[in-house]
Structure 1
């Protein structure tokens, strides 16, 4: 299990989880910063039996899972423009400060993001941060959403924070029966939380319109997996091919469907192999950085 993480930068507080306490860092391991999706907290990355932080600790890889603005103990954020780009701007600056404090001789940072967190991580990478970004690993974001999705989010109550009913959330976050263990989805519920409505509208609207521009600006290696049964995105081989083709400036691109999984790959039967592939990617780009 991880331990609570707190950080302050430019007068803003950030909460989260990390595996730094007692970690024996592997030589050359990068610092991984993980960004959760909408309706989840950073605990998404630390559910017992499905914990990326535990798996990374076993391999000597430091991971900090940050709560994005408006989540848990991270300060709130309001904007009249894109909430995803506003997240990216603040978090990009905060990660630079975190790197200075916790880099500890690592060759650089690997950004890892799920769903809306993946979009935020992509926007950070596209901004070409001043700190050493080595690679981008994402999941659960693609090219298009089903036509009914934005209408569904727009029809939610006109309040800033939305508490999605658990049965509704489980239906869209998980694939069909047989793609996850008997303990799921219940085991994932401790990471559930409220989501800013503006995030749901941005990911299904503005982000889709600027997705190609953002992906084309990424100049580091990319690793992405999309659950075969992801109900939140139009998901098939053609869509994955189109998403892959968008990273025109990345030196390497490893993007594919994750068979036998819904939106939250970490919580499905292929989750362990998926996390291992993310960590292998992180180690590989770190090794290349010092070669």
Structure 2
């Protein structure tokens, strides 16, 4: 794992016997958290993908629990094949229940997911669990794939460079060298599910009962961004009390590593404020 930020520490969750490595960051000054944000990384990465998000969230009174998904980090040896996305959601629910037994989670848990982590966040929102969920914010996860992306490389290198990054000037100097520390092999069971996602989404969408915000980067290349496709995606979230779809200018797929990260993170936390107000 990369060097941790001030105020963040390594943390291990016991998810029904599965150890999940994570980063835990609590609000500044020891104040009780207003909420807990479960930050879920994408394919082939680690929890530190969220390093640039953590200081802003904690400064506004939220705890952040950035987790290495099942099959990554400390659970990789126990789960060498990884878990299916729905299984990962069950594991995360168990982890949240364990975390809530020892820590104040505030008003509840807000799900934040990127790419395949956004898929897991949607599965988590659709499944039942013992911890209250406030809302879900996902970036880089759509409904139907861009036909040009159908070769599906499993890593952030090789032929996936354009898909994962977009134009290189969208990122600060040194990003690509620094991001090597975030990389991790993608578990086989996760890779095997890629082509199944459109059908999975159709099955789970009407079981998501919390507010949802979906963000697509201007230079998002993985997904079909045709208005009709995105309208079909949001229309399936029939049980969600609020669905918002946004496009972020001057950003590539890995939004939280680029120059647009601060703008995106502020919008995430604004949406969380809306969810807290609605809950209150």
SS at match of 1:89: helix
Of the three residues 26, 29, 32, the one matched with 2:34 is 29
TM-score (norm 2): 0.88
Asked if 1:73 is matched to 2:64, the reply is no
> Equivalents in 1 of 2:174, 2:81: separation in Å?
39
Residue 138 of structure 1, CA deviation: 0.8
2: CA distance, partners of 1:230 / 1:262: 6
Give 1:25 deviation, angstroms: 6.1
* Pair 170,16 (structure 1): closer, same or farther in 2 beyond 3 Å: farther
Aligned position for 1:101: 102
SS of equivalent residue, structure 1 residue 29: coil
Please list every run of 5 or more consecutive structure 1 residues that lacks an aligned counterpart in the other structure. 154-161
C-alpha offsets along residues 18-70 of structure 1, whole Å, 9 cap, x if unaligned? 212x7336677211111111110001111xxxx11112122221100010111
Residue 107 to residue 145, structure 1, CA distance change in 2 (3 Å) = same
Task: Determine if contact 1:174/1:264 at 8 Å carries over to the other structure.
Answer: yes
Once residues 134 and 192 of structure 1 are traced to their aligned partners in structure 2, the CA distance between those partners, rounded to angstroms, is 30
Distance 1:165 1:274 in 2: 21
In 1: Cα distance, 2:117 partner to 2:164 partner: 15
SS of 2:166's equivalent? coil
**Higher mean displacement: 112-121 or 139-148:** 139-148
| Alpha-carbon offset, residue 269 of structure 1 | 2.2
- Structure 1 distance, partners of 2:244, 2:265, is 14
Q: Distance in 1 between matches of 2:219 and 2:136?
A: 23
Length-normalised TM-score, structure 1:
0.85
Q: Please tell me the root mean square deviation across aligned C-alpha atoms, in Å.
A: 2.3
Distance in 2, matches of 1:25 and 1:277, equals: 25
Cα–Cα, structure 1 residues 233 and 129, in superposed 2: closer, same or farther, change >3 Å? same
Q: Are the structure 2 counterparts of residues 38 and 165 from structure 1 closer, same or farther at C-alpha, using a change threshold of 3 Å?
A: closer
1:11 is aligned to: 17
Deviations 1:139-177 (A, max 9, x none): 111011133544444xxxxxxxx6x37354443211224
Cα distance in 2, alignment partners of residues 150 and 14 from structure 1: 31
Hey, what's the Cα distance between the residues in 1 that align with 2:30 and 2:127? 29
Contact 1:150–1:201 (CA under 8 A) maintained in structure 2: no
Matched length: 273
> CA contact under 8 A between 1:84 and 1:207: conserved in structure 2?
no
Instruction: Tell me the secondary structure at the aligned position of residue 55 of structure 1.
Output: helix
Q: Secondary structure at the match of 2:75?
A: coil
Deviations 1:178-214 (A, max 9, x none): 32333333332221111113323313x2221121221
* 1: CA distance, partners of 2:131 / 2:30: 20
> SS of the residue aligned with 2:175?
coil
